[in-house]
Structure 1
Amino acid sequence: MKKITITIVFITLIIPIFSYAQEIATLKYNGGGDWYSNPTALPNLISYCNTYLNTTIKEKPQVAEVGSSSIFQYPFIYMTGHGNVFFTKSDAQNLQDYLLSGGFLHIDDNYGMEPYLRKELVKIFPDKELKEIGKNHEIFKDKFIFKEGLPKIHEHNSKRPQAFGFFHEGRLVLLFTYESDLGDGWEDPSVHNDPKEIRDKALKMGANIINYAFKH
């Protein structure tokens, strides 16, 4: 009887990060800042994107801790707050690894975060420059057109809204929105009593950001 040798090849499926169902998360960071502020913002933005961008993002955003490997499950992570931010060395390394491997972090200053944040961003990319993003960048015109760049949603001290970012190989990996307060515009209408026109601007800009993160 002829002996038949069957070679069984085990195929190891390497599931790339972000291959999960579309989910996004809020970043939980240290330092005492209110990372949990604007609780209705992301759910409303998700609903808007699912309606107008045909995304299938899970309705309830998750919470991802800054130093945890769980951040690699999400193609888009949102960070906000008013106060202090602190990244340990391992937190910063974790965020760098996440961003360079395809992740996207949107940091939305809810007013008061900026002076604390800037010194922590240096820990993530000590060799990169945080650059202001011009109004001609793709993120301002891919789905909804913002001819003047980042819109002003809430007035705090009459400063102009600015978008800053870190780039890696031409891809925007970290977006920092300052003096705009997009998250306030995403919240339930009853929270800030913003007119529909303002909320629409905020949601459209948020949709552009989500769309960019998912595309790239």
Structure 2
Amino acid sequence: MRKLFIMFCLLGFAEVSAQSPTIKIARLKYGGGGDWYSNKTSLPNLISYCNTNLKMNIFSEEDIVDASNSEIFQYPFVHMTGHGNVIFSDAEADNLRKYLISGGFLHVDDNYGLSKFIRREMLKVFPESEFVEVPFSHPIYHQKYKFASGLPKVHEHDNKAPQGFGLFYEGRLVCFFTYESDLGNGWEDQSVYGDPESIRTSALQMGANIVSFAFTAY
């Protein structure tokens, strides 16, 4: 299965001049009442940034996928966000685990208030593991764009430094949890939050690093 993901990614890099995009990425729809649909302009903007600056060939709009759906295996990169509660059923947790250990990648962006819920639910997916802070030396911070001090800070909430946490399976980072950074807010249209262009650029560059890592790391 991992070979299939690698093949999709290589096609996306190699066929950038083709008429039709070759790769899709998805947003994870989940139960529990949290707003999985928040930051509506974020992924289209990140996709556009990756296509322009990393010469990728991703469809311009994200798909929506449930954790229990077999279609999740079509996507080398799945993004998840929200402010509140998350609940994975046993079937969803089992399928998400299979997806991740088969070569998939999940980016979880805390939109403020997600942390305690996603930590609890990911224990259903990987009961043998907990999130650990990803060191600044990790390749996810050193793709095309260098973030020697870790995640950029987009919005302030509790005066905490941004942190990147990861779940690892057999040494591979399979889930990256961006906390107190608000990357997704930084990917939104400038008119949504009015952030300075420098902040938006940093957020998009870090997002591009995450996508690049997900597509090429194995």
Deviation readout 1:137-166 (Å, 9 max, x if unpaired): 111112101110111111111011110011
| Bigger radius of gyration | 1
Q: State the distance in 1 between where 2:77 and 2:24 align.
A: 8
Counterparts of residues 55-134 of structure 1 (less than 5 Å): 55-134=56-135
1:207 alignment partner in structure 2? 208
Matched residue, 2:25: 24
For 2:90, give the aligned amino acid. Answer: K
Deviates more, 1:141-150 or 1:186-195: 141-150
**Cα deviation, residue 169, structure 1:** 2.1
Q: RMSD of the alignment, in Å?
A: 1.2
Q: Which segments of 5 or more consecutive residues in structure 2 lack a partner in the other structure?
A: 9-21
Tell me what 2:167 maps to: 166
Contact kept in structure 1, 2:6 and 2:215, CA below 8 Å:
no
Aligned length: 202
Q: Aligned pair 1:44/2:45, yes or no?
A: yes
Which secondary structure does the structure 2 equivalent of 1:174 belong to? Answer: strand
Counterpart residue type for residue 51 of structure 2: N
Instruction: State the SS of the aligned residue for 1:199.
Output: helix
Which position in structure 2 is the counterpart of 1:9?
none
| Structure 1 residue 168 displacement after superposition | 1.6
Bigger drift between 112-121 and 177-186 goes to 112-121
Q: Hey, which bits of structure 1, 4+ residues long, moved more than 3 A?
A: 15-20
How far 1:24 sits from its partner (Å)?
0.2
Instruction: Establish whether residue 154 from structure 1 lines up as the match of residue 142 from structure 2.
Output: no
Read off the aligned partner of 1:93 and give its amino acid letter: D
- Higher percent of residues as helix: 2
Q: Aligned partners of 1:17, 1:190: CA distance in 2, in Å?
A: 35
Normalising by the residue count of structure 2, what TM-score does the alignment of the two structures yield? 0.90
The CA distance in 1 between the partners of 2:5 and 2:137, in whole Å, is 30
* Secondary structure, aligned partner of 2:97: helix
Write the distance in 1 (CA, Å) between the matches of 2:43 and 2:6: 19
Q: Which residue of 1 aligns with 2:35?
A: 34
Cα distance, 1:184 vs structure 2: 0.1
**Deviation of 1:18 (Å):** 7.2
Task: Report SS of the residue matched to 1:16.
Answer: helix
TM-score, normalised with respect to structure 1: 0.91
Return the alpha-carbon distance in structure 2 between the equivalents of residues 16 and 214 of structure 1: 11
Shift, 1:181, TM fit: 0.5
SS state at 2:4 partner: coil
In structure 1, how many angstroms separate the alpha carbons of the residues matched to 2:211 and 2:115? 22
